[in-house]
Chains A and B, each alone.
Chain A
Amino acid sequence: MDKSLDKGKLEHLAELARIGLSEGSEEKLLRDTEGILSYFDELNQVDTDGIEPMTGGTDMKNAARDDERSDDLLRDGVEEFPVSRDGLLEVPKIMKETTNDL
């Protein structure tokens, strides 16, 4: 498998991660990530056959609690939201305007 990163892959990752890369920052990023990824190659030396992955910091399976209504965060949460109006959160529009000729 080709584990290297190139400019095209980096741009794709940046788009997935929703990070706008500035002009000229890609070269340094590629250099740094190459060093880090080659360090990670040492993991190939470890025999992990039959080992269960450790998928979290705890061996607890479930931590359910009663589903109780709480208004604790409701009012302050709206107030602290960057833009709000009349107790409602205001966000940029997410739909593009289209001309509908139906």
Chain B
Amino acid sequence: MEIKDLTISELKRGLIQKEFSAKEVTESYLASAEKKNPEINAYINILKEDALDRASEIDGKISEGEDIGPLGGVPMAIKDNILIKGEICTAGSKILKNYEAAYDATVISKLKNAGAVFMGKANLDEFAMGSSTENSAYGPTKNPRDIERVPGGSSGGSAAAVAADMALGAIGSDTGGSIRLPASFCGVCGMKPTYGRVSRFGAIAMASSLDQIGPFAKTVEDAQAIYDVLKGKDRYDATSRDMAESQLPLGDMSSITIGLPEEYFVSGSLDEETGKAIEDTINEFRSSGAKIKKISLPHSKYALSAYYIIMFAEVSTNLAKFDGIRYSRGGSEGGDLLDIYLSTRGEGFGEEVKRRILMGTFVLSAGYYDAYYAKAQKVRQLIRKDFIDAFNDVDVILAPTSPTVPFKFGEKTDDPMTMYLSDIFTVPVNLAGIPAISIPVRGRGDKLPVGFQLMGKHWRDNDLFELGKYYERM
């Protein structure tokens, strides 16, 4: 078996049994990254020297017989809105092109302690704002499954790195689908944990009431191995907390009920290939003995509007700190303070970021607040309640991740609303704060990937991993 085909547990076994060294593993992934990155552009920055140093450290531990940690020697891609101390962190934006992180994000400290090897900083839509990774100031990422198509976004670099064997695992952030959509488009697993499960300290915030950090991997089991390292309460993120873990008993699938929200399956909501692939998946679960039940999430139709209003509002406040004084210095030095702000932000932010900040300023401004922001928060409550009600009857909810297969470059860049509609099946999860995983529909061979989503109850993240692993074994 080639190194690139090993799962995390197989890699660990091989390392400990000295079938290969961590250095050989890292060199193999680096060779793949250096060969493919000029075309795929999954990485903004490949951390070659650091990765090799880390791998040597792991090899040292192995020869001393020390524990190498749950992710010992695992080559990982890190979305470039997550801080690694001493490394540039651009968030895909020109405004942070020289910004060097002064500390490690909590998830980075955890991954370091777990033995992970950081291969590089992965490309993203600027400040994680986009659904295709076409919005990066460092050029678009291409989909390794078909380089004429987008990898999805905003964590397109993370997903593409895993899909193209440039990393064994990755982390990204998901505000409205930014892990799950690229996972679906690139044919890998991607998971958004329950809001509060993973600390965001050291992640450059986009919309704080929605953002979560989560894993990418080739298999559900690997995604869970990464998730297990990331999770947990952190004193530096006041929304994080520890909760007791429990999971579905999967010995007998007939005790499991899977809900299908009728609003996601209305005629014309899916392209033909996606519709067929999702139907096949539902049938596989049905054959396994699971009960399949139609449910209703009546406010789904309004999720996209509520999501975009709330996200715009939070973006406009979160991005106020990029002022040309604190994180980068530029603009018209010598002018007065207002000139510095206006020129730094006017020139440093891309078009989509400026549009979202302006829209956010608008929905929060006097006279419009109630009509937009307050209204959206009430609709958000109704959407959350829809899920809680539905989970009285079902254990998990199954739905497509994206209404379409990956689209071509430029297809949706002219009209922002067309791009926003790519997130229609992913945003309700963030509004409600529940966990969800995107898993590739299997057996598609050379056809474009399709992902299906499993959505779970609050704090029942493990249900999704258990059911996902069951699907992979089926």
Please report A residues at the B interface, Cβ cutoff 8 Å: 1, 3, 5, 10, 13-14, 16-22, 25, 29, 32-33, 35-36, 39-40, 42-43, 45-46, 48, 51-58, 60, 63, 65, 72-73, 76-77, 79-83, 91-92, 94, 96
Cβ–Cβ contact B358 & A80, under 8 A: no
Please give me the residue from chain B that is nearest to A91 by CB atom: B325
**B85 — which chain A residues lie within 8 A by C-beta?**
76
A72 to chain B, nearest CB (A): 7
Interface residues on B, range: 35 or more
B358-380 interface (Cβ within 8 A of A): 358-362, 365, 367-368, 371-372, 374-380
Set B100, B102, B239: member contacting A58, Cβ < 8 A: B239
Cβ–Cβ contact B381 & A52, under 8 A: yes
A14 to chain B, nearest CB (A): 6
Cβ–Cβ contact B345 & A54, under 8 A: no
Cβ–Cβ contact B239 & A57, under 8 A: yes
**A92 — which chain B residues lie within 8 A by C-beta?**
325, 333, 337, 340
Cβ–Cβ contact B358 & A54, under 8 A: no
Q: List 13 other contacts, CB 8 Å, given A20-B342, A73-B102, A77-B102.
A: A17-B345, A21-B346, A40-B309, A43-B306, A43-B372, A46-B382, A48-B375, A53-B374, A53-B378, A54-B381, A57-B239, A63-B238, A91-B325
B336 an interface residue at 8 Å Cβ cutoff?
A: yes
**B349 — which chain A residues lie within 8 A by C-beta?**
19
Please give me the residue from chain B that is nearest to A21 by CB atom: B346
**A53 — which chain B residues lie within 8 A by C-beta?**
374, 377-378, 380-381
**A19 — which chain B residues lie within 8 A by C-beta?**
342, 345-346, 349, 354, 357-358
**A63 — which chain B residues lie within 8 A by C-beta?**
238-239, 241
Cβ–Cβ contact B305 & A48, under 8 A: no
Q: Is the interface of B mostly helix, strand, loop or mixed?
A: helix
B191 to chain A, nearest CB (A): 17
Q: How far is the CA of A28 from the CA of B209 in the complex (A)?
A: 30
Cβ–Cβ contact B382 & A48, under 8 A: yes
**B358 — which chain A residues lie within 8 A by C-beta?**
10, 13-14, 17, 19, 29, 33
Cβ–Cβ contact A32 & B302, under 8 A: no
Cβ–Cβ contact B377 & A54, under 8 A: yes
Cβ–Cβ contact A43 & B376, under 8 A: yes
Cβ–Cβ contact A80 & B102, under 8 A: yes
Q: How far is the CA of A39 from the CA of B302 in the complex (A)?
A: 10
Cβ–Cβ contact A16 & B365, under 8 A: yes
B251-266 interface (Cβ within 8 A of A): none
- 10 A-B pairs (CB sep. < 8 Å): A17-B320, A18-B323, A20-B343, A43-B375, A48-B379, A58-B241, A58-B433, A63-B238, A72-B103, A76-B102
**A52 — which chain B residues lie within 8 A by C-beta?**
378, 381
**A82 — which chain B residues lie within 8 A by C-beta?**
98, 325-329
**A18 — which chain B residues lie within 8 A by C-beta?**
320, 323, 338, 341-342, 345
**A46 — which chain B residues lie within 8 A by C-beta?**
299, 302, 375, 378-379, 382
A89 to chain B, nearest CB (A): 9
